[in-house]
Amino acid sequence: MLVAASTECYYHLPLKEALTKISDLEYTNVEIAIHEQGQHLKPSVIAADLDKAVAVCRDTERMDVVAFSVEIDATGEEYYRQFTAICKLAKATKVVTLAIPSGELGTPFNEEVEKLRRLVQIAQLEGIRVGIKSQIGRLSEDPDTVVVLCDNVKGLGLTLDPTHYICGPHSNKNVDKLMKYVYHVHLRDSKKGHLQVRVGQGEVEYGRLVTLLQKVNYHRALSVNIREMPDVDHMVELRKMRLLLESLL
């Protein structure tokens, strides 16, 4: 497995500055956020100028890009056009995994299945894999729903973020059954009532998680995704997490 950091850790900075900070912390792998509302790459911009986006993603402080986190605001066919451009970007930069949100709670199940099937088909044409993110407030907040979605959409996987299952309304459910669906992993520390706490003060069992992933032959990235917290040294937290994960591998 690889240890990486997401540029979402520095969501408020321009991409180049975020990459520099992550490199300075001695990470050798990075996940890049492609969010329309973010400060880094934007889906609409990628669709407008794919070649420029490819150049940007190849200038990453010598870090390898392991995944893209994708959030598209467009609707209708424009959504799929932008997603297709991101898949082409991923292929050109040798990125295999896209992490995307599942539908919001209340989205009709059949509608979500059809959308995800189309996304997976588009991605597979470029040799890319799609993993829905574990997220409170979306269909993926329930581990049972994740299983049903992945079983109904051939080729769909999960971007596992254990914190959303610790803090979410389904915290009583066992998530071990999700491991075989995992395409990518987001990590921070968390406890009930607090989506993010200082590393070591939460309930995420990193050692057990790594063991479970090894049992299903997961060989891809563990991507650190820690946001800034008041009165906490952000760089210390990111470095602490890197060292912790590397000690487990």
Give the pLDDT score at 64: 97
Give the pLDDT score at 91: 98
pLDDT band at 121 (very low <50, low <70, confident <90, very high): very high
| pTM of structure | 0.95
| Residues 149-185 pLDDT 10s | 999 999 999 999 999 999 999 998 999 999 999 999 9
* Average of per-residue pLDDT across 211-216: 97
Alpha-carbon gap, residue 79 to 25, rounded angstroms = 35
Residues 181, 146: contact at Cβ < 8 Å? yes
Give the pLDDT score at 160: 98
What lies within 8 Å, CB to CB, of 126 at 6+ separation is: 87, 88, 90, 91
2-6, 36-40, 44-48, 127-131, range with the lowest pLDDT? 36-40
* Average of per-residue pLDDT across 119-124: 98
pLDDT band at 61 (very low <50, low <70, confident <90, very high): very high
Q: In the CATH scheme, what is the homologous superfamily, with its name and number, of domain 2-248?
A: Divalent-metal-dependent TIM barrel enzymes (3.20.20.150)
136: its two tokens: 């409170």
Give the pLDDT score at 162: 96
Give the pLDDT score at 172: 85
The Cα-based distances of 92 to 60, 65, 86, 95, 161 in angstroms read 15, 12, 10, 8, 27
Give the pLDDT score at 169: 92
The ranges assigned to domains in the chain are 2-248
* Average of per-residue pLDDT across 104-120: 97
**What average pLDDT does the chain have?**
96
pLDDT band at 133 (very low <50, low <70, confident <90, very high): very high
* Average of per-residue pLDDT across 46-64: 96
Instruction: Please measure the distance between the N-terminal and C-terminal CA atoms of the chain and give it in whole angstroms.
Output: 7
